[in-house]
Structure 1
Amino acid sequence: MNVTFLNEYINLVVLGICLCLGYVIKNSLDFISNKYIPLIMLVIGTLINILVNISNFSATVVLGGMISGLASTGMYEALRSFIKGKEKEE
């Protein structure tokens, strides 16, 4: 299954904001379970993308926010795995 067409919907600003917020939630807010972080990032990503694109609101804007928010959780896991791999080599 090829999902590369979803790349055109990713907003890098939203992705970066969600990545930072997700990091803070995961490492600082112990009362929030890890299983809820993707849902929180989906909602935050959607809201930020709607606010950024308020003048031309459409379903594409909503989809872009959702994908960017969820992509931030995947990017966090990829970066975490990369950093842990580098630590083991040293």
Structure 2
Amino acid sequence: MDLGNLSDYYIVIVVLACLVVGYCIKNITWLDAVSNEYIPMIMAILGAVLGCIAKGHLSLDNIVYGALSGLASTGLHQMFKRTIHCMGEKREDGK
């Protein structure tokens, strides 16, 4: 499977930027007022805006790919969180 085509649909810099912003929203105390249920929507909107900035112009493709990249950052965060949680459980069991 060739993963080179993923860069056609996901904008890596947008994924990373949204990952950082989402991490900040989750961990900065004065942002505790933002409910967890709004984070995917915030990442999709931020990703759409950053996608247009990263690609240099406003188009439907850039908005959609940016929003997908923002949502991918939410999924990536969950994957990291579950992986780290599972690794922590294995260490406690001594395995």
In the superposition, the TM-score normalised over structure 1's length comes to: 0.86
Structure with more relative contact order (C-alpha pairs < 8 Å, separation 6 or more): 1
After TM superposition, give the deviation of residue 27 of structure 1 in Å: 1.7
Deviations 1:34-82 (A, max 9, x none): 0000010011111111112224x32111111000001110110000000
- 42, 46, 49: which is aligned to 1:47? 49
Q: Letter of the aligned partner of 1:45 in structure 2?
A: G
Unaligned runs of at least 5 residues, structure 2: none
| Aligned-residue offset at 1:8 | 3.5
- Which AA in structure 2 matches 1:17? A
Runs (5+) with no aligned partner, structure 1: none
Shift of 1:7: 6.8
Cα root mean square deviation, aligned: 1.7
3-state SS of 2:34 partner: coil
Query: What SS does the aligned partner of 1:31 have?
Result: coil
* Aligned equivalent of 2:19: 19
User: Percent same amino acid among aligned pairs?
Assistant: 35
Question: Normalized against structure 2, the TM-score is what?
Answer: 0.82
- Amino acid in structure 1 at the alignment position of 2:14: V
